[in-house]
Amino acid sequence: MFSLQTIFGKGDKFYGLLEASAAAAHDSAAALVRMFAARPLTPSLDEFMLARRREKDLFAQISQELVNTFVTALDREDIETLSAALNKITKSTTKFAERYSLAADRLGDIDFTSRAVLLEKAGEVIVQMVKELRRGNLETMRSLNERLQSIENQADRLMIDLYRDLYDGRHEPIRIFLLKDLFELLEKAIDRCRDAGNVVYQIVLKNS
């Protein structure tokens, strides 16, 4: 797989850049789990901002390297698509953290941890999938993609439980609005992981 590019020894830098981008996405998810474990009244956004800045810098670097590099290890369109998909993971996670920080004092009794853990697990799978691009083993990639789909299914079931709880008459309208917005942002971040996983899987499938 990708033997011609390997012979010429060109474009391998993109593997490393994409792996670093996936790691930044996972770091932002892990920061979310740590934030809920500490449950501070005023959550710090420093870790999220750092991961987001790294991701944006990597996204810009990948775009510039595509301009400067004649031969790439992967198709240019695939590199661009995957880079954009990874970028959206940290963007969604950071947006959630920002919104949560504004309402943390009102939502201290709500446990977001289970969903944050699923996001971190999805981020771990994305890191493995992007690393696997170097080898391009279709069976391994299929197994990882199935694991990612399983995590998404678990998140969907949690969303059903959330809606059941939201509309049972115990919550005030403003609280329903806040919770619905936050949980849907968290679900969107998990969906972004699924989107990135689908891109990686399609790349390997196309080149197998």
Mean pLDDT, rounded, for 37-43: 76
> pLDDT over 70 for what percent of the chain?
93
Is the Cβ–Cβ distance between 118 and 190 less than 8 Å? yes
Is the Cβ–Cβ distance between 15 and 134 less than 8 Å? yes
Whole-angstrom distance, CA of residue 24 vs CA of residue 153:
24
Q: List b or e across 50-75, with b for residues whose CB sees 16 or more CB atoms inside 10 angstroms.
A: ebbebbeebbeebeeebeeeeebbbe
Q: How confident is the model at residue 40 (pLDDT cuts 50, 70, 90)?
A: low
Is the Cβ–Cβ distance between 192 and 92 less than 8 Å? yes
Whether residue 35 is predicted with pLDDT greater than 80 in this model: the reply is yes
Q: Which two tokens stand for residue 146?
A: 């199935």
> What global pTM score does this model have?
0.88
Whole-angstrom distance, CA of residue 149 vs CA of residue 65:
32
Whether residue 143 is predicted with pLDDT greater than 50 in this model: the reply is yes
* Each residue's pLDDT tens digit, 70-90: 888 889 999 999 999 999 999
The dihedral through the CA atoms of 117, 188, 56, 39 has a sign that is negative
- The DSSP-derived string for the chain is --HHHHHHT-STHHHHHHHHHHHHHHHHHHHHHHHHHH--SS---HHHHHHHHHHHHHHHHHHHHHHH-SS-SS-HHHHHHHHHHHHHHHHHHHHHHHHHHHHTTT-TT---HHHHHHHHHHHHHHHHHHHHTTTT-HHHHHHHHHHHHHHHHHHHHHHHHHHHHHTSS-S-HHHHHHHHHHHHHHHHHHHHHHHHHHHHHHHHHHH-
Judged by average pLDDT, the poorest of 4-18, 39-53, 174-188 is: 4-18
Question: What confidence score (pLDDT) does residue 167 get?
Answer: 73
Tracing tokens 């789909």 back to the chain, one arrives at 149
Q: Which of 84, 82, 83 is nearest to 201 (CA)?
A: 82
Q: What is the mean pLDDT of the chain?
A: 88
Please report, for residues 57, 159, 191, the alpha-carbon distance to residue 81 in angstroms, rounded to integers and kept in the order given.
16, 28, 16
Question: What confidence score (pLDDT) does residue 193 get?
Answer: 96
Is the Cβ–Cβ distance between 185 and 96 less than 8 Å? yes
